[in-house]
Amino acid sequence: MTASLPLTATNDAQRQFSLSDFDFHLPPDLIAQHPAAERSHSKLLDGRGTQPADRIFKDLPSLMQPGDLLVFNDTQVIKARIFGEKSTGGKVELLIERVLPGHQVVAHMKVSKKPPLGGVLYMGRDAKSGAPGFTATLTGRWPDEKGALFCFSLSDEPHALMAQYGHVPLPPYIERPYDGSASEADIAEDERRYQTVFARNPGAVAAPTAALHFDDALLVQLKAMGVQTASVTLHVGAGTFQPVKTENIAEHTMHSEWYDVPESTQQALHDCRARGGKVWAVGTTSVRTLESWAQSGQAQGDTQIFVTPGFEFQWVDCLITNFHLPKSTLMMLVSALAGYDRVMALYAHAIEQRYRFFSYGDAMLLTRAA
């Protein structure tokens, strides 16, 4: 019999949390390697009541009320992983994190020996001739000379080059050959399913995975019952997968990501509050975007917001989210929203009931703790 869940998180602000508090044992076979056959047929763990409820994602309309507001992240995943070689013939891999003006890009570089400043990389391959598709010239580090990322000048427009030569930048825990040799079936599936149905602003290197469960039919059903929708943009960076390395979580430095809260979404949020509806964030990226705007007063810019237990939320009432990596900043965020004890109990239930974890996995529904 499932034990009752903790009802509140009233003591979390007074508790001292360490990195190890957010650890748990996850059987490797629960890490989803492929998506569910249909987007809305994933399992949904409803964690709002006194006991967890096991549902299917397509049940979502029955869990919402007319006048509620769903806030999606409409970022589009770009084919940011590109393979190539140095002038010496050494292999190199770039993961483009951000596109700058003038054919400039910011990227992670995987290479045995880094090229010198001004060094030219020969990236991509022409499908017919086998010749390199374009060049990438190293112009420096980013955002400064001590930065961990690198700035390159490409020989043509970056988005066009990625579309032609790039590969979907799947997370490291999805086991695919990352040299472009995955099967045609896997490539086609990933290109279609590691993207939301409403993606429209290119710039992410990781999908806002909670939104992957929505399909057109479900969106039509939600609209018909009076649920409102609005979009924000946060271009998810590769830093979302970086582990926290400090036991004292206050010493962790968050990665930076670009976000935008359009005026129409700002109005939709105020209207929702005025009519007494609830604001449902779809995914942790939507949470970070809304709360970054609330904290800074800036509707657009870069954010390094780090949400940990004790955080005071200003906009988010409910959260639809996937299951996250142990000891991750995302585990800290969901614990901050719903309460640490409740979240850990829900994760234990999910593992017991064999929910599927991470990007292609199942979903969970949380509400802000009292």
**Domain annotation covers residue 268:** yes
User: Residue 76 has what pLDDT?
Assistant: 97
Q: Is 175 exposed, middle or buried (0-12, 13-18, 19+ CB in 10 A)?
A: exposed
Domain boundary among 166, 183, 203: 166
Structure confidence at residue 174 (pLDDT): 95
CA 354-208-303 angle, to 5 degrees, is 125
CATH of the domain at 273: 3.40.1780.10
Count structural domains, the chain.
Answer: 2
Q: Are residues 61 and 125 in the same domain?
A: no
- Res 148: pLDDT: 86
34, 42 Cβ separation under 8 angstroms: no
Q: According to the model, what pLDDT value does residue 315 have?
A: 98
Choosing from 151, 166, 181, the residue where a domain stops is: 166
Q: Both tokens of residue 198?
A: 């409403």
Residues 21 and 60 in one domain: yes
Both tokens assigned to 6: 């903790």
Residue 171 located in a structural domain: no
Q: Smallest Cα–Cα separation from 257: which of 242, 240, 243, 245?
A: 240
Q: Are residues 91 and 131 in the same domain?
A: yes
| Any domain includes 198 | yes
Last residue of a domain, one of 98, 132, 166: 166
In whole angstroms, give the CA distance from residue 331 to residue 358: 12
Examine the domain organization and report whether 261 and 335 are in the same domain: yes
- Same domain for 98 and 126: yes
pTM comes to 0.93
- Whether residue 129 is found in the same domain as residue 202: no
In terms of domains, do 104 and 72 share one? no
| Residue 145: per-residue pLDDT | 86
Looking at the fold, whether 99 and 217 belong to one and the same domain comes out as no
Domain assignment of residue 22, yes or no: yes
Same domain, 199 and 302: yes
What confidence score (pLDDT) does residue 3 get?
64
**187 domain-assigned:** no
* Residues 73 and 94 grouped into a single domain: no
Tell whether 181 is covered by a domain.
no
Q: State which amino acid sits at residue 59.
A: D
Q: Indicate whether 175 belongs to any domain.
A: no
Per-residue model confidence (pLDDT) at position 8: 55
Spell out the per-residue pLDDT of the chain, length 370, in tens: 466 787 555 578 889 999 999 999 999 999 999 999 999 999 999 999 999 999 999 999 999 999 999 999 999 999 999 999 999 999 999 999 999 999 999 999 999 999 999 999 999 987 667 777 999 999 999 988 888 899 999 999 999 999 999 999 999 999 988 666 788 899 999 999 999 999 999 999 999 999 999 999 999 999 999 999 999 999 999 888 888 999 999 999 998 999 999 999 999 999 999 999 999 999 999 999 999 999 999 999 999 999 999 999 999 999 999 999 999 999 999 999 999 999 999 999 999 999 999 999 999 999 999 7
Residue 232 bridge partners (DSSP) = 73
Residues contacting 65, CB < 8 A, separation 6+: 227, 277, 278
Same domain flag for 148 and 129 = yes
Range of the domain at 317: 12-77+192-367
Q: Are 125 and 259 in the same domain?
A: no
